[in-house]
Amino acid sequence: MTAVSVIGAGAFGTALAVALAAKSPVTLWGRDVAWPRENPRLPGVALPDALRLTDRLQDALAQTVLLALPAQVLGGFLADHAAALDGRNLISCAKGIDLQTLQGPSALIHAACPAATVGVLTGPSFAADIARGLPTALTLACADAATGEALQARLSTGALRLYRTTDVTGAELGGALKNVIAIAAGAAIGAGYGDSARASVITRGFAEMTRLATALGARPETLTGLSGLGDLVLTCTSEGSRNFRFGLALGAGRDFTPGTTVEGAATARAVAALAPKLGVELPISRLVAGLAEGRIAMEHALDILLNRPLKEE
Ligand SMILES: NC(=O)C1=CN([C@@H]2O[C@H](COP(=O)(O)OP(=O)(O)OC[C@H]3O[C@@H](n4cnc5c(N)ncnc54)[C@H](O)[C@@H]3O)[C@@H](O)[C@H]2O)C=CC1
Ligand SMILES: O=C(CO)COP(=O)(O)O
């Protein structure tokens, strides 16, 4: 039995498994791992011998399990496999808010697996960078400080440097909400509004992320760390981001590749549903929800943002 297993053989799960296999044997579970030694979602990355692939969950579960499934499928997966997962260290790597329950991945895990120790691994990191062994800094959040420290040591490698925090809510929400703002930043660029407009979206978007996250119990300083500001900067400025590219396509009125994981689209709708319940104003996120649902046309988006009453920063 390996020390760490990774559930979800998409781009991110595979990249994490490749990186961790440099340190100790890793098992990677996926429902569709019939590919030879290269994952089509992560082209050009050879899978090392220390990485064992399986589609049998019962063969995959170590004491520490990284859950690298998209946020909108995590709840169903947990419902199906809670008994096998409970009691382990379960670390969410998903960046989203579940649209059905309006909860983040850590709350879904707690609810399904009450005896598990829950953690969150998040921060600025493209799967391709991690898989290539490029230097990357992430946040490992765990409410239990001692377990968090042990997990930090277990999951750090020569290239992957983990910082730790006990603020699970803040770390998780930073990663989820930056995807929504990245869609807005992409839309601003795609529509030709320019880099100054993008800088405004990043800054005012960060204010929205902080308002919502603190209303849900996050510590404000967590939002200024890797999991919040760090990942926001990466995702709003790089075409390596699927959320940013989705926004680019929206802004330019172009189609977007179906089947691509774009966490920010569903998360924007979850955020729009949460905002009135919490009494927080989130104009950019609500606009992204409207664009993603097709309720708002791109040609009206700018007017909606600019015609609001003037206010203090
Ligand atoms: N790709 C990246 O650079 C990064 C991704 N993440 C996060 O990791 C999470 C996963 O994203 P990616 O791996 O990039 O997505 P992906 O689109 O590359 O892969 C998704 C994987 O989930 C599997 N899947 C879908 N529904 C399933 C189900 N019901 N049961 C079992 N497996 C199922 C698919 O077969 C696929 O292997 C997302 O929350 C994303 O935000 C976080 C950091 C970086
Ligand atoms: O979360 C990511 C980088 O930190 C990946 O972003 P995308 O899901 O937008 O590709």
Q: Is the CB of 244 under 6 A from ligand 1?
A: no
User: Does residue 209 form part of some domain?
Assistant: yes
User: Does residue 103 form part of some domain?
Assistant: yes
User: Does residue 219 form part of some domain?
Assistant: yes
* Residue 68 pLDDT > 80: yes
Domain that holds residue 12: 4-166
Q: In the prediction, which pLDDT does 210 show?
A: 98
- Pocket probe for ligand 1: among 109, 132, 179, 261, the residue whose CB has the most ligand atoms within 8 Å is 261
* Closest ligand to residue 96's CA: 1
Q: Is the CB of 28 under 6 A from ligand 1?
A: no
Closest to 130 in 3D by CA, of 167, 165, 156: 156
Q: In the prediction, which pLDDT does 164 show?
A: 98
Q: Model confidence over 156-193: pLDDT tens digits?
A: 999 999 999 999 999 999 999 999 999 999 999 999 99
| DSSP H or E stretch at residue 67 | strand 64-67
Same-domain pairing of 72 and 204: no
- Pocket probe for ligand 2: among 14, 72, 234, the residue whose CB has the most ligand atoms within 8 Å is 234
Same-domain pairing of 125 and 210: no
Same-domain pairing of 136 and 71: yes
In this prediction, residues 107-125 reach a mean pLDDT of: 98
311 counts as catalytic: no
In this prediction, residues 259-265 reach a mean pLDDT of: 97
Same-domain pairing of 42 and 149: yes
The DSSP secondary structure of 97-142, one letter per residue, reads --TTT---HHHHHHHH-TTSEEEEEESS--HHHHHTT--EEEEEEE
Least confident among 107-121, 216-230, 291-305:
291-305
Domains identified in the chain, total number: 2
Which domain-ending residue is among 143, 166, 189? 166
Average pLDDT of the chain, as a whole number = 96
If one counts every other C-beta atom within 10 angstroms of the C-beta of residue 95, the result is 29
Residue set of the binding site for NADPH:
12, 31, 95, 127, 242, 263
If one counts every other C-beta atom within 10 angstroms of the C-beta of residue 63, the result is 14
Same-domain pairing of 84 and 97: yes
Q: Is the CB of 64 under 6 A from ligand 2?
A: no
Residue set of the binding site:
8-13, 31, 95, 123, 125, 127, 178, 231, 241-243, 263
* Residue 1 pLDDT > 70: no
Same-domain pairing of 118 and 213: no
Q: Residue 270 is part of a domain; what is its CATH number?
A: 1.10.1040.10
Q: In the prediction, which pLDDT does 34 show?
A: 87
Same-domain pairing of 79 and 173: no
Which residues, at least 6 apart from 134, have a Cβ–Cβ distance to it below 8 Å? 159
Same-domain pairing of 147 and 188: no
Q: Residue 84 is part of a domain; what is its CATH number?
A: 3.40.50.720
User: Does residue 312 form part of some domain?
Assistant: no
Same-domain pairing of 85 and 154: yes
In this prediction, residues 100-110 reach a mean pLDDT of: 98
Same-domain pairing of 174 and 162: no
Distance 15 CA to ligand 2 centre (A): 13
Catalytic residue among 23, 178, 277, 311: 178
Assembly ipTM: 0.99
* Residue 300 pLDDT > 90: yes
User: Does residue 313 form part of some domain?
Assistant: no
User: Does residue 193 form part of some domain?
Assistant: yes
Q: How confident is the model at residue 39 (pLDDT cuts 50, 70, 90)?
A: very high
Same-domain pairing of 110 and 236: no
Distance 192 CA to ligand 2 centre (A): 22
